[in-house]
Amino acid sequence: MIVVLGAVAAEQQLLRRALAQAHHSRHAHLDCYSGGINGHELVVCAGGVGKGAAAAATALLIDHFAPNLVLVCGCAGAYPRGGLQIGDMAVATEEILGDDGVQTAAEFLNLADIGLPGAHRDGVNYYNRYPLDSAVRALFAPPLEQFARTEAVTCASGSFVTLSTCCGSVASAQQMYQRWNAVVENMEGAACAQICALNKVPMWQLRAISNMVEQRDTSRWQLRPAMERAQRAVIHLLHHISPEEINATCTL
């Protein structure tokens, strides 16, 4: 079972249409759509915008469906120095809670600085950084690279930063990039990663770039094309990787 989680319905529409024998169910506040793609058993859900909504949705879905993989799919803003452009794609190697901590007059103190772990697993404390599953990333890489070539876009991997307050100026974007050296920013991924870490469920995350993180100008954004590209990439992956391969990788 794979849970595919996005923030809003537009990040899920193509996936929902691709489901065979789709079935709708409601769990707490979540509308869930179950079905299959190429033998994969899926639950597709829009969990809501922001860390709180993402954490709640991830916890509910893990508790009810007991997936062996959580797959986060959506759009993101790219930091100009990260090397990506609008339309490109990125896969997370780790997720970072980018603004969780304390802002003093002199500096930002992250959760490690103040000794507040957000998760403890197998003897390890996790603070702002949550590494994502490298085995799943390696399994998905070849078909994703093939999809990127077909689309004539770049697909990079790197750190993602999750923010409650996204950057809307050149100065704030530069500050956040220097703090974490991330390629993209979003509003949900690290919260999903935190819940997955607490429950020992592998997570993989793909986002297509809808905008650059710079002086805010929504007239230049490409939200719908980015959302659709990310979903088409996931559908491509599911048609080129067998359920047996995913099950074997997620039980290593």
Q: Is 53 a residue whose pLDDT tops 80?
A: yes
Give the model confidence (pLDDT) of 170-218 as tens digits: 999 999 999 999 999 999 999 999 999 999 999 999 999 999 999 999 9
Q: Which domains does the chain have, with CATH numbers?
A: 2-250 (3.40.50.1580)
DSSP states of the chain: -EEEEESSGGGTHHHHHH-EEEEEEEETTEEEEEEEETTEEEEEEE--SSHHHHHHHHHHHHHHH--SEEEEEEEEEEPGGGT--TT-EEEEEEEEETT-EEE-SS-EEEHHHHT--SEEETTEEESSEEEPPHHHHHHHHHHHHHHHHHHT--EEEEEEEE-SS---SHHHHHHHHHHH--SEEESSHHHHHHHHHHHT--EEEEEEEEEESSS--GGG--HHHHHHHHHHHHHHHHHHS-HHHHHHHHT-
Confidence at 251, pLDDT banded by 50, 70, 90: confident
What's the pLDDT score for residue 164?
95
Q: Is 252 a residue whose pLDDT tops 80?
A: no
What mean pLDDT do residues 34-54 have? 97
What's the pLDDT score for residue 172?
93
Confidence at 79, pLDDT banded by 50, 70, 90: very high
What's the pLDDT score for residue 235?
98
What mean pLDDT do residues 4-16 have? 96
